[in-house]
Amino acid sequence: MNPLKQLHEQGQSVWLDYIRRTLITSGELQNLIDEDGVRGMTSNPTIFEKSINGTNDYDASLARALQNDPDQDTKTLFETLAIEDIQMAADALRPVFDESNGADGFVSLEVSPKLAADTSRTITEAKRLWGTVDRPNVMIKVPATSDGVAAFESLIADGVNVNVTLMFSLDHYEAVAQAYIRGLDRCKTPERMASVASFFVSRVDGIVDKALDENGSPEALSLKGRIAVANAKLAYKRFQEIFEGESFKKLAGAGAHVQRPLWASTSTKNPDYNDVLYVDELIGPHTVNTLPPNTLEAFRDHGKVAATLATGVDEAKSQMVALKGLGIDFGALAEKLQVDGVASFAKSFEDLLSSLEKKRQLSSSAG
């Protein structure tokens, strides 16, 4: 049996960490849904920047949008293209949403990363995008910055599905999970709400491995390639404590869905590591793993399916303690990863708008 479909039997949903116009229009997305059991999609400014700027997929839509409104600003132009993709993808995944009673089948669209430090504008933008896309199986993405978490709580209370992104530590996770519960407590229809907590994985090993190399001791080197998985396993343990415990029982009784952990950044960056490391080691119920196309294909080919998330938790704790004993401040590294992640998405967004502006000017000149 296809290992990707076997993940669903373990209670884990596979989402595709990629979006592109021809992926949807060619029928490839539908094939991924049918043959591989893909049950959702995520996008971010970097993915859109590569898809829109790196292909000709959007030229016809771009020309049509400019013909309809030659004076629209570049940000509006981008949203027109992106929202068309999101709506088509959401429609393709709508049967998954319906069959799962609103628990799965989602597509994510991100608010501008330039608003990561502005709660009120994040709320305004998220609500505007939610209303414009107008699909029940869409999640609006906001970052897990302190301002983003405050916006997230308000959005859940007001009935907007949210994918909270750029989480790297237990502190990040704790803040987001508690905000979800507070938001549900204030929501008139908690049974209709859906959210995922996007916990980043491979970037953790990238920054921690560098610190371990700089230390150079045998103990430090023995931890290389292990901290990202350990960190994620401890976050999952905390998920179980929160959402399977007393604090969520009343909301669960009212029909509320748990906020599933979503493993993000799951492509293996270090060629010395197993190319499906961050899939094999993070399999468990009530989770999502969002895979870029190359990782999805690799796992289909040679992934190993077993209930791995709830195993080795004591070892994970010991590894995090050992990291601290080496003088490596994981909390500080996690904060840096979040700051750098916001900055990276913001740069991709700026690059995207700059390239679209050039395309608009070329189109106007040709006209």
Bridge partners (DSSP) listed for residue 163: 141, 196
Q: Which pairs from 127-134 meet CB under 8 Å and 24+ separation?
A: 127/155, 127/158, 127/160, 129/79, 129/83, 130/160, 130/161, 132/79, 132/83, 133/83, 133/86, 133/87, 133/90, 133/109, 134/87
What gap in Å lies between CA 157 and CA 189, rounded to an integer?
Answer: 9
The residue among 313, 234, 240, 291 whose CA lies nearest residue 13 is: 291
What gap in Å lies between CA 146 and CA 98, rounded to an integer?
Answer: 33
The residue among 168, 312, 107, 295 whose CA lies nearest residue 230 is: 312
Q: Which residues are catalytic?
A: 141
Rg (CA), the chain: 20
* Two tokens, residue 28: 């490839």
